[in-house]
Amino acid sequence: MELPRSTSVLIVGAGPTGLATSLSLIHYGFKDFVVVDAAVKGDNGSRAIAVHAATLEALDAIGCGDELVSKGTKTAKMRFDTRVAELAHIQFDALSPYTRHPYALIIPQTFTESVLGEKLASFGVTVYRPHKVVDLKINANDGNLADVVFDDGQVIITRYIIAADGAHSTIRTAVGIAFVDPKSDCTDDSGILQQAALADVTFDALNLNEPHFRGVMSPNNFSLCASLPSTFNEYLAKEIGKPTEGKIYRIVCGVPQAKGVVPHSPSKEYMQTLIDEFGPLDLSSHPDVNPSGKGVCIKDILWSSRFRTHSAIADTFFTRFSPGDPSEFQGPAILLVGDAAHIHSPAGGQGMNLGIRDAVFLGEALAKHIKATESMPVSEADQILTEFVTERRARALEVIGLTKTLLSIGGMKDENVAWWLPVSKVTLRDWALWMLGKVYYLRREAAWSISGLGRR
């Protein structure tokens, strides 16, 4: 596909973050942009499955929330259990006085991308695929423009580049922005939950009474099972050309380092072994273990992958690409959003949510900046973007701290508290969660924190 030769804004990456950035720019009256992505449509992984209240409110603000809500499943609470008993739950419906979305919306990332992509297409915007950025240069005729070079030799000249191209961002690397773990005061996430396997599966049992979302904390590990909306079956039937029978579930399970590296695409047998060892007993394939007296086995795997639970954040989310000093306010503007700006463990389902909120708020800030450059020096207008990224980076650091804390709780090592207190940390954690889970106020506060309403 032939690319446009020039544009004011080039958005690199058409995942949820890149799409939301585009929709936000349109909402704030700016349409001189181009969106490119290195992947063929449908290649993006499923991964994230929950959209929280603060994110839905941000999408509402640009007229995109209702379409997403209509496709997902609203879950009023998230359960957290041991393998045999319920411990506590996060009560999202307690947020009803504060938001029109007192729930977590369960919807796979691929489906979220599809909904946002259709919305963008309705405005006549084309996402150019597959086009991978391979180089970035200062334009020979204008030092405030960039020549963005693609793998097929095509070049787009642009004044602004929005890097929404993921954790391995080509744009971030090209301009030399460091991307490291902030090493905050929160608990380090270098413990046992360093890697995990995940898959979208169907089970051979037709009448599973499985909650919409359930996390299971076992000694030294954590797993979760979430039922995906029936609309996802319809979406997959359209995408792959054949129906998927039965309810689809997302399975995620930590994999201890002793078990080796997780395969790139875990097999049905691999995922079944993890469920049997770390999942709830009522999903065990062994009849002698399963409380129902019947084994529950994975029937089909529709998609599977792996991830590592590390954290990193860019030193800055905004700079000017210049062969000289970026502080001189010369050179094309580079802005990082989503995983290109920050990554962390998936605990609490925060990653895609924070990225989408980054994108929605960036659209407004960038539209203001472009308008401001018409009447004031760039050095003054840049203050708009500097203030914006300072606030977004602070939010990202808060989320990284939250996810590290959640990861340390979910993946707590099964060891004694101290030599003088021979009580297992896991036992103490389970007891504390059971007791705290009885308090309505604490359930609401947990929901408030996870929902993002306190750190939009």
Question: Tell me, what's the pLDDT at 98?
Answer: 95
Question: Tell me, what's the pLDDT at 187?
Answer: 44
Question: Tell me, what's the pLDDT at 338?
Answer: 95
Looking up tokens 């590296």 gives: 261
Q: How far apart, in whole angstroms, are the C-alpha atoms of residue 67 and residue 163? A: 26
Question: Tell me, what's the pLDDT at 257?
Answer: 87
Helix, strand and coil in the chain, % to nearest 5: 35, 25, 40
Torsion of CA 36, 41, 45, 48, to 10 degrees: 70
Q: What are the φ/ψ torsions at residue 42 (nearest 5 degrees)? A: 95, -10
H or E element: which one contains 314? strand 312-314
Torsion of CA 203, 228, 306, 273, to 10 degrees: -20
Question: Tell me, what's the pLDDT at 242?
Answer: 81
Q: Is the dihedral of CA 445, 223, 167, 26 positive or negative?
A: negative
Query: Going residue by residue through the chain (456 aa), what tens digit of pLDDT does each one get?
Result: 899 999 999 999 999 999 999 999 999 999 999 999 999 875 555 588 999 999 999 999 999 999 999 999 999 999 999 888 888 989 999 999 999 999 999 999 999 999 999 999 999 999 999 999 999 999 999 999 999 999 999 999 999 999 999 999 999 999 999 999 987 544 444 455 789 999 999 999 877 877 688 999 888 789 999 999 999 999 989 888 888 888 999 999 999 888 999 999 999 999 999 999 999 999 999 999 999 999 999 999 999 999 888 899 999 999 999 866 555 568 999 999 999 999 988 888 898 999 999 999 999 999 999 999 999 999 999 999 999 999 999 999 999 999 888 888 887 888 888 889 888 888 888 888 899 889 999 999 999 999 999 887
Q: Which stretches of 329-424 are assigned E, i.e. beta strand?
A: 333-336, 342-343, 416-418, 421-424
Q: How far apart, in whole angstroms, are the C-alpha atoms of residue 411 and residue 347? A: 10
Question: Tell me, what's the pLDDT at 131?
Answer: 97
* Bridge partner list, 216: 81, 223
* Bridge partner list, 222: 217
Going by their DSSP bridges, the two strands 312-314 and 318-320 should be labelled as: unpaired
Contact status, residue 71 vs residue 229, Cβ threshold 8 Å: yes
Q: Which stretches of 42-94 are assigned E, i.e. beta strand?
A: 50-51, 73-75, 77-81, 86-91
Q: How far apart, in whole angstroms, are the C-alpha atoms of residue 293 and residue 287? A: 5
Question: Tell me, what's the pLDDT at 189?
Answer: 43
Q: How far apart, in whole angstroms, are the C-alpha atoms of residue 134 and residue 168? A: 13
Angle between helices 378-410 and 351-372 (to 10 degrees): 170
Q: Which stretches of 127-229 are assigned E, i.e. beta strand?
A: 127-128, 133-138, 146-150, 155-163, 179-180, 195-203, 213-218, 221-227
196: Cα within 13 Å, side-chain hemisphere = 27
Q: Is the dihedral of CA 48, 49, 54, 56 positive or negative?
A: positive
Q: How far apart, in whole angstroms, are the C-alpha atoms of residue 343 and residue 352? A: 10
Q: How far apart, in whole angstroms, are the C-alpha atoms of residue 296 and residue 282? A: 8
How does 28-60 read in b/e, with b if 16+ C-beta sit within 10 Å?
bebeebbbbbbbeeeebebbbbbbbbbbbbbbb
Q: Is the dihedral of CA 241, 246, 247, 249 positive or negative?
A: negative
